């Protein structure tokens, strides 16, 4: 009996390992997704992308159940995404609402970063608020690697500069770590675009956009990155059409 029990235990363990490996592979390949927000509750969906997605057929992309797209424009004080101009012009010719985003650097002043964004992104009808991607990166992997107060001060300069230029407060993109360290206190005037691809709807955070997946595959792009980020808006189509409203 003991031998049979051992055999059964080993067999079950092997089956579980194979099943877990298969599920992991399907998640990695974008066949399965951890998050599938209720389309009835969250009907407004969109993507965000950069030059990593390569050349984009915007007419094709726009026909795949999305309502908006955030496009990478700039990074730091000197980098312009090499495909931003082409993406911005082509996307503006579709029925999508579009917005531009900036990757915030902890190494340069907020004003010079804002100057780069302002000189790169020209307003189009129905434009979504500018977005600023605030997350740890490279040598700045946690709050221990930065002067938190100094970074928050420069982020405030960036936010206020863009709000003055576009008459809309920027949306702040963040994950749980950067939200807790840099955004939670001091930026209540900005809407939040929360990244949470491994858990369900963010709790305890007043989010406006939720990036719920980074492993989707759509038709219409041909870059080295075969996946595309998926997002939802926290509201119905009517609320989205009125969003955000211009500041006086």
pLDDT digits over 5-36, tens only? 545 444 544 443 433 333 334 344 444 446 68
Total of domains in the chain: 2
* Residue 132 Cα distances to 34, 82, 111, 158, 240, angstroms: 25, 18, 13, 9, 19
Q: What is the CATH number of the domain that holds 108?
A: 3.20.20.80
Distance in angstroms (rounded) separating the CA atoms of residues 205 and 8: 46
In this prediction, residue 21 carries a pLDDT of 39
Look over the chain and give the mean of its residue pLDDT values, rounded to a whole number.
Answer: 89
* Residue 181 Cα distances to 46, 61, 127, angstroms: 27, 35, 29
47 shares a domain with 13: no
Distance in angstroms (rounded) separating the CA atoms of residues 161 and 42: 31
Q: Over range 36-61, report the average pLDDT.
A: 96
pLDDT in tens, 81-101: 999 999 999 999 999 999 999
Active site residue 203: no
pLDDT in tens, 122-176: 999 999 999 999 999 999 999 999 999 999 999 999 999 999 999 999 999 999 9
In this prediction, residue 16 carries a pLDDT of 39
Domain-located, residue 247: no
191 shares a domain with 120: yes
Q: Is the pLDDT of residue 245 over 60?
A: yes
Confidence of residue 235 (pLDDT cuts 50, 70, 90): very high
In this prediction, residue 94 carries a pLDDT of 97
Distance in angstroms (rounded) separating the CA atoms of residues 74 and 77: 8
Q: Is the pLDDT of residue 193 over 60?
A: yes
231 shares a domain with 207: yes
226 shares a domain with 154: yes
Q: What residue numbers bound the domain in which 26 lies?
A: 1-32
Q: Over range 201-215, report the average pLDDT.
A: 90
101 shares a domain with 4: no
Domain-located, residue 155: yes
Based on DSSP, count helices (H) and strands (E) in the chain, helices before strands.
Answer: 7, 9
Q: What is the pTM of this model?
A: 0.86
In this prediction, residue 176 carries a pLDDT of 94
Please tell me which residue in 107, 111, 115, 135 is annotated as part of the active site: 135
Domain-located, residue 248: no
226 shares a domain with 116: yes
Active site residue 81: no
Longest dimension (CA), the chain: 80
144 shares a domain with 81: yes
220 shares a domain with 167: yes
Which structure tokens are listed for 78? 């000197």
Please tell me which residue in 48, 75, 154, 191 is annotated as part of the active site: 48
Domain-located, residue 104: yes
83 shares a domain with 69: yes
177 shares a domain with 60: yes
In this prediction, residue 19 carries a pLDDT of 33
What percent of the chain stands above pLDDT 70?
Answer: 85
In this prediction, residue 20 carries a pLDDT of 34
In this prediction, residue 202 carries a pLDDT of 79
Nearest to 96 by CA among 49, 33, 31, 163: 49
């Amino acid at each position: 009996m003991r031998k049979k029990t051992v055999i059964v235990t080993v067999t079950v363990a092997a089956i579980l390992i194979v099943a877990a490996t298969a599920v992991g592979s399907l998640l990695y390949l974008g066949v399965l997704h951890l998050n599938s927000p209720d389309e009835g509750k969250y009907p407004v969906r969109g993507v965000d992308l950069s030059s990593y997605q390569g050349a984009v057929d915007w007419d094709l992309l726009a026909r795949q159940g999305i309502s908006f797209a955030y496009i990478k424009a700039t990074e730091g004080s000197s980098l312009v995404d090499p495909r931003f101009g082409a993406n911005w012009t082509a996307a503006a010719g579709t029925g999508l609402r579009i917005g531009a985003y900036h990757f915030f650097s902890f190494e340069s002043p907020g004003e010079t970063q804002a100057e780069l964004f302002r000189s790169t992104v020209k307003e189009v009808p129905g434009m979504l608020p500018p977005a600023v991607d605030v997350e740890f990166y490279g040598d700045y992997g946690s709050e221990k690697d930065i002067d938190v107060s100094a970074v928050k001060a420069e982020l405030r300069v960036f936010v206020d500069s863009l709000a003055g230029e576009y008459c809309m407060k920027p949306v702040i993109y963040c994950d749980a770590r950067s939200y807790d360290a840099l955004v939670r206190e001091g930026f209540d005037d900005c809407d939040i675009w929360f990244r949470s691809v491994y858990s369900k709807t963010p709790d305890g955070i007043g989010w406006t956009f939720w990036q719920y997946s980074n492993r989707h595959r759509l038709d219409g792009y041909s870059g080295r990155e075969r996946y595309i980020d998926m997002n939802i808006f926290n509201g119905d189509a009517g609320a989205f059409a009125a969003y955000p409203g211009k500041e006086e």
